[in-house]
Amino acid sequence: MTARIAVTPRSLSQGGHPALAALEAAGYDVVFPTPGRQPTREEQLRFLPACVGYLAGVEPITREVLAAAPGLKVISRNGVGVDSVDLTAAAEQGVAVETAAGANAQGVAELAIALLLAGLRRIPPQDAALKADRWQRIEGREVVGRTLGVVGCGQIGRRVVRLGLGLGMSVRAFDAFPDPAFTPAGDFSYTTMEDLLACSDAVTLHCPPAQRPLIDKRALAAMRPGGYLVNTARSSLVDDGAVLEALAGGRLIGYATDVYDQEPPAPQELLHHPQVITTPHIGGTPERVWSAPPARPWRICYGYLPSLPETTERVMAVPADEAGNVLHLITSKLPYLPGALRQIGEYLLAHPQQAQSMTISQLASACGVAESTVSRFVRELRMDSYHSLRLSLAEATFATRSAGAGRDEEFVYEGILRGDEPPAIVGKIERSSRQTLTQTAKQVSGDAISRAVDLLHDADAVVFCCMGSSSIAAEEGVMRFTRAGKKCLLYRDQSVQVMLATILTPRDVLIGISDSGKSTAIVDAMRLARQTGATSIGITSAQDSPLAELSDVPLFTSNVTGEGLYGESVTSKWGQLLLIDILYATYAARHFDDTLQHLKETYEAGIRHSRSPGSPPVES
């Protein structure tokens, strides 16, 4: 029997679309069960049991509907939202849910601006009057110099920001997680929701749905009198009754919407209000959406159904207990999680390798939340324990590495996703770097720094042991403390490091640097140094590691580990460099005069011999 794919979006099912020929060419039986209209629950229950794929519109896809389709492998949403799909039931049943991320972003953004301009210039009533043979002019408003408030600064919201700026507007945006790398030219800034409502002449919504309306009586009362509201996101974001009251009272001069609780919507007062503009959910229907190769929602992909190219964005993988899919599960839920849970999700997506070795208290500390919030996050993923989450993270990162560079990986570096543009990459790396520095600083123990500085002051020689990119911090330490008057040694050859440890004396200090705290040569050197009576300082991110246990003074970093194609990231070294800097600055502050004298002497020596061939203080 030929595998069947049901197509229900009205824009595709009424007359079809040439793009669907790709599905038929791949051998699928493409059917249109309800041409030109949204299917009912009863109709879904009739046609879905025979389907392996479902190219869906906005109709609800409930647990009951999914249970009736045991052969269903994938749902490809004709758009970017997934709130109409029971994601939990889909994950339990092993049904992938996909979207055409970014496909309709420009179309929706342009529609939002078009609705805003039409409303402020009062175009619909004047058009209607002229069609009724009445010559009626109504005074409108220009947008130049006015303030546009954009709620939600994702792919659509950012396009709206740029369009608004292009029209000469000042733009204020609210986003739960603002991206500092998004800095369009013009009068733009992020602000709070309260300030946005108070200062904006017009507000446009581009955010995920919430448990209750975002724009209710309280929000409308906070808006500038005579404001305009546009909603091309989700109908549930707006309290229709509150909008009617605001229109009657003059708080709003107009409202425009492209979204509804059901399609087509039931007759209601708001739809027929003379100050309301309505469009039949056309934001995602421009021709470009169906012809642009990067985002064709009709291609059901990622290997769930064979023979088709991979073009849409996966928002949910199969159940989280299967290897390699927990990161996709977290990604799918992220837009709909409240603040604290979203913080945890973003941290796990950015640092899955680090998180898999964390205790629940360590993860809670890293995310700035309570342990109970982490437990709640685990339940949100429908996992039975925190241990299950750690195992799933380990399986996901192992699967990514096993696939190698030839695999089209989703997560490649510091939470960076395939297709990220340079501004987004800059912002993500900047946040990772800042997070590493902030969390390392929080973990610094003043007592441990004092003990380490005392050891360094009394040492005849300071020996650095490191490997790989940890040598960045080691070389910085050699340079700093050599200029402060200490004899420092660094050999990059690990065998030499181990041999050197055997001849240390009780008046020497060995500094071992290892993110994992498990590097064999460094751990061996620390163990041998202890046998000679030498003291040691360990710099690591792993508090339960052999390096930490062998150190007389362990110092801990918050290590951000790179994933996928790029391996270990530069940002993970900021914590090590920060600790070296703190050690040096504390040493210099306590022994100020001596350090200043040595700095002068080493500087002058460097100037005198800067052109002479010779070995630098660092031996290698």
Residue at 344 is within a domain: no
- pLDDT on residue 603: 78
pLDDT (0 to 100) of residue 313: 40
What value does the mean pLDDT take over residues 488-516?
91
Residue 418: pLDDT band with limits 50, 70, 90: low
CB hemisphere CA count around 23 (13 angstroms)? 27
226-252 as b/e, with b when 16 or more CB fall inside 10 Å? ebbbbbbbbbbbbbbebbbebbeeebb
Q: What digits encode the pLDDT tens for the residues 519-529? A: 888 999 999 99
For 304-355, what is each residue's pLDDT tens digit? Answer: 554 443 334 433 333 333 334 687 778 767 766 777 888 898 888 878 877 8
More confident residue, 180 or 142: 142
Tens-digit pLDDT profile for residues 14-73 = 655 666 666 676 677 888 888 878 899 999 999 999 898 898 888 899 999 999 999 898
**Residue 215 in domain:** yes
Task: Note whether 540 and 515 are within 8 A (CB).
Answer: yes
pLDDT for 311 equals: 38
Same domain? 269 vs 131: yes
Domain check: are 91 and 114 in the same one?
no
CATH of the domain at 449: 3.40.50.10490
Q: What is the pLDDT of residue 576?
A: 92
Residue range of the domain that includes 94: 1-103+292-316
Supply the pLDDT for residue 465: 94
- Position 357 in a domain: no
Pick the residue with more confidence: 378 or 604?
Answer: 378
Answer yes or no: do 234 and 110 share one domain. yes
Q: Is the pLDDT of residue 545 over 60?
A: yes
Stretch 263-285: mean pLDDT = 87
> Is the pLDDT score of 503 beyond 60?
yes
Percent of the chain at pLDDT exceeding 70: 79
Residue 602 to residue 609: CA distance in whole angstroms: 11
For residues 64 and 174, membership in a common domain is answered with: no
Pairing of the two strands 416-417 and 411-413: antiparallel
From 322-331, 405-414, 554-563, the region with the lowest mean pLDDT? 405-414
Both tokens of residue 374?
């982490």
Q: What pLDDT, on the 0 to 100 scale, is given for residue 318?
A: 33
Residue 195 lies in a domain: yes
The predicted structure's pLDDT at residue 281: 86
Please report the pLDDT score of residue 407 as a whole number. 38
Residues 149 and 246 in one domain: yes
Q: Report whether pLDDT(297) > 60.
A: no
Q: Residue 19 belongs to a domain with what CATH number? A: 3.40.50.720
More confident residue, 353 or 116: 116
Phi and psi torsions of 479, nearest 5°: -60, -45
- Give the pLDDT confidence score for residue 296 in this predicted structure: 47
What single-letter DSSP state applies at residue 224? P
* 425 within a domain of the structure (yes/no): no
Among 137-141, 291-295, 516-520, 596-600, whose mean pLDDT is lowest? Answer: 291-295
Q: Is there a single domain that holds both residue 266 and residue 310?
A: no
- Which of the given ranges, 192-196, 264-268, 391-395, has the highest pLDDT on average? 192-196
Asked if the structure places residue 157 within a domain, the reply is yes
Residues 117 and 236 occupy one common structural domain:
yes
In this predicted structure, the answer to whether residue 199 has a pLDDT above a threshold of 80 is yes
Cβ atoms of 541 and 354 closer than 8 Å: yes
Quote the strand ranges of 146-263, DSSP E. 147-151, 170-174, 188-190, 202-205, 227-231, 252-257
Both 12 and 75 in one domain: the answer is yes
Based on the fold, state whether residues 95 and 125 are members of the same structural domain: no
Residues 83 and 142 in one domain: no
Which pLDDT score, from 0 to 100, does residue 183 have? Answer: 87
Q: Which amino acid is at 349?
A: L
Q: In this structure, is residue 321 part of a structural domain?
A: no
Are residue 30 and residue 20 in the same domain, yes or no?
A: yes
Same domain, 267 and 247: yes
Averaged pLDDT of the chain: 81
Task: Decide if 406 is inside a domain.
Answer: no
133-162 burial, b at 16+ Cβ within 10 Å, e below that, comes to eeeeeeeebebeebbbbbbbbbbbbbbbbb
Give the distance, in angstroms, between the CA of residue 80 and the centroid of all CA atoms in the same chain: 16
Q: How does residue 368 score in pLDDT terms, banded at 50, 70 and 90?
A: confident
Count the domains in the chain: 3
Q: What is the CB neighbour count within 10 angstroms for residue 381?
A: 20
pLDDT tens digits, 142-173 = 999 999 999 999 889 999 999 999 999 999 99
DSSP assignment, residue 61? B
What kind and span of H or E run contains 77? strand 74-77
